[in-house]
Amino acid sequence: MSPPTNPRRSSDPTAAATPGWISDSINGGSLRRVDLHTGTNGWASPPGDAFSLRSANYFTKRQKSPAGDYLLSPAGMDWLKSGAKIEHALSRADNRVMHALRESQTLGKSLKSFVFAVNLQIPGAREHHSAVFYFATEEPEALRTGSLLNRFVFGDDAFRNQRFKLVNRIVKGPWIVKKAVGNHSACLLGKALNCSYYSGSNYLEIDVDIGSSAIASAILHLALGYVTAVTIDMGFVVEAQAEDELPERLVGAVRVCQMEMSSATVVEALHAPPHVPRGVGLARVNHHKSADELTFEE
């Protein structure tokens, strides 16, 4: 079935127009898709309007408005565990999302598909975890020339670091987690944490090293201590910094519902840098920020 021509894709992953490979990605993985309101130990797609982003008059009236539909469709989540940091997940031979896309493309389908992945890397003394969120589109219009998302995907690292923003809201959780994380907040991840950008002909992956900030690492490990009681919405945004870039739009969002640490899939530790296929560009940036630079926008 052909996707609709409207670039404002629904945030509902069950939409009839969802291509087969995205459906496979949604329904696979170590964390299953669960009910938005009652699900546990899984992920769901929160409504875009649950987030407040910069409105069309933000720079004159400082107003925010409901975010609306995602720019890209949800394509699943992985919760992974390894003996070493998991880097450039989309290049791994065992990455199920890219495998599903390649299988579709061998049949002559989804040839213009694009995957946007965010890999939150969580360090540990012996084990490293990664929460990998996948979003996708089959519509070239979603990455149209001149759009803010296009400029981010095909821009340089300096631009990306100034624009890559996480917005979050605690849906359910104990008071101590809400206090530490912030019930509704936004943070420019590219400025606060070490980010690595891996780009290919049909994807962009952003690896976010939580361990690169002492404060972020402490907050996350506190939250993980209560993880089975916490439900959190996380949205990813390219920040608008000029009038003609407003209103802001969600690239995509995910609700992580009372996850269990033990549900992680174990993957092989790659001690050498992952192989980058011929013709695929690799962009990586490392920068160190002091603790007081981990700032949040309410």
Residue range 55-99, pLDDT digits in tens: 999 999 999 999 999 999 999 999 999 999 999 999 999 999 999
What pLDDT score was predicted for residue 18?
85
Q: How many CA atoms lie within 13 A of 269 on its CB side?
A: 10
Return the number of other C-beta atoms located less than 10 Å from residue 276's C-beta.
14
> Cα separation of 121 and 166, whole Å?
15
Task: Give which of 246, 250, 226 is closest to 237, Cα–Cα.
Answer: 250
Place of tokens 């490979």: 21
Question: Domain segments of the chain: what residues?
Answer: 20-267
Contacts of 209 (CB under 8 A, 6+ apart): 85, 121, 123, 193, 194, 195, 196
Biggest CA–CA distance in the chain, Å, is: 51
Q: What parts of the chain have a pLDDT lower than 70?
A: 1-16, 183, 271-298
Taking the model in full, what pTM does it have?
0.87
What pLDDT score was predicted for residue 297?
62
What pLDDT score was predicted for residue 275?
45
Amino acid symbol at 152: F
